[in-house]
A and B are shown apart, each in its own frame.
Chain A
Amino acid sequence: QQQVKQSPQSLIVQKGGISIINCAYENTAFDYFPWYQQFPGKGPALLIAIRPDVSEKKEGRFTISFNKSAKQFSLHIMDSQPGDSATYFCAASIGGYSSASKIIFGSGTRLSIRP
């Protein structure tokens, strides 16, 4: 129940196309859903995050779509660029304003953008 399932494992997209990565969860207590971007040999960096009280959040070319009833959420990268080539992790946690919580990571998606 603590798992976050992520797909696909790898993804190749043409430059300018839309990259879509999907995640699903079981634990309805999760209330914070971040996405991380990781380049080889580097730590993950927070890309964008959403809370379940909204269905969509957009920041630049990155959009999270959230379906609370289906317990699914996805990352859309519009106008994908070669510089977006990285591994992307979805995650979930039970957050709080005054306490730190564990983040449960998905298995990751290796995204390659073809020039």
Chain B
Amino acid sequence: GAVVSQHPSRVICKSGTSVKIECRSLDFQATTMFWYRQFPKQSLMLMATSNEGSKATYEQGVEKDKFLINHASLTLSTLTVTSAHPEDSSFYICSASLPGLAGGPGETQYFGPGTRLLVL
């Protein structure tokens, strides 16, 4: 259980176009999803926290108008990179939070397989 999928797995686009990345929790409902960005040989950098039915919370330095996040349902969050430029090329990873039960081990985040974006 606790599987998170991302689509597409890889995308190549021209500079100036917009790209949408989907993140789905396949077998559980996630009230909170997270979006990360990872450059080659580097750690994951949190971009934003997405809560179902409300506006995303962006980390400092992340342009909210460039990285549009929508969390329309308990199993789907989307990240749209608007007017993409070569510097936006990166590996984008989402995670979905599976809440813990009372008295249990607490919530756990499960990560998707990532989306490789290349902007030409």
Contact = CB atoms under 8 A, between A and B. Distances in A.
Nearest to B116: A41
Given A32-B106, A108-B42, A100 B111 contact: no
Interface stretch (B14-22, B75-83, B92-100): B92-100
Interface residues of A, number: 26
Contacts of B97: 100
Main secondary structure of the interface of A (DSSP, over half): loop
Contact of B34 (A36, A102, A107, A108): A102
A102 B107 contact: no
Contacts of A105: 43-44
B110 interface: yes
B109 A100 contact: yes
Contacts of A45: 111
B43 A106 contact: yes
A95 to B, nearest CB: 4
Contacts of B103: 97
A42 interface: yes
Interface string A13-46: 0000000000000000000101010000111111
16 contacts: A32-B106, A43-B111, A43-B113, A45-B111, A46-B109, A46-B110, A49-B108, A89-B44, A95-B106, A96-B107, A97-B101, A98-B100, A99-B107, A100-B107, A107-B43, A108-B43
Given A46-B108, A46-B110, 18 more contacts: A43-B6, A43-B111, A43-B114, A44-B93, A45-B111, A51-B106, A96-B106, A96-B107, A97-B104, A98-B99, A100-B49, A100-B109, A103-B95, A105-B43, A106-B43, A107-B42, A108-B42, A110-B41
